Amino acid sequence: MGGLENLVTQFMKFGIVGAIATGIDFGIMIFLTEVFGVDPVISSGISFCTSTVFNYLASMRFVFRHREDLSKGREFIIFVVLSLIGLGLNQLIMWGGTAALGERWYILVKVLATGIVMLWNFFSRKHWLDADRK
């Protein structure tokens, strides 16, 4: 397969892992907000962190190849740092979006945040973590 085909295949695998992580993220966020009345910005942060753990385990097993020049510990630290940047983007978008549109639109705002953070996650992880980062 060519470089573009490999990238497309990898992005599709990332999409499958991401879809499951998104289900976890949205499920926990909606549950905490609707059942326990947790503020959507807070419940979104909790759900994001929970889904990040799943995402690390699945991404590094099924999507990205381990770089031999990185220890597993260093790999995890880089993944967490990149995820924290993603969390910052997520929280900023959730805060700004719910402030602008109102809290009742939190799910729509979360969809926008998820799309933007997904792009950040793929390309940043591809660059810093993937052995096939060419």
DSSP alpha helix (H) spans, the chain: 3-36, 40-62, 72-101, 106-128
pLDDT value, residue 2: 66
Mean pLDDT by 10 residues, the chain (134 residues): 82 94 94 96 91 90 90 90 92 95 93 92 92 71
pLDDT in tens, 35-63: 999 999 999 989 988 998 898 899 999 99
The pLDDT value given to residue 134? 57
CA-CA distance, 21 to 56, in Å (whole number)? Answer: 10
Is the pTM of the predicted complex or chain greater than 0.85?
no
Q: Which pLDDT value is given to residue 116?
A: 95
Q: Is the sign of the CA dihedral 83, 32, 94, 39 positive or negative?
A: negative
CA distance linking residue 29 with residue 43, whole number of Å:
5
Give the per-residue pLDDT at 58: 95
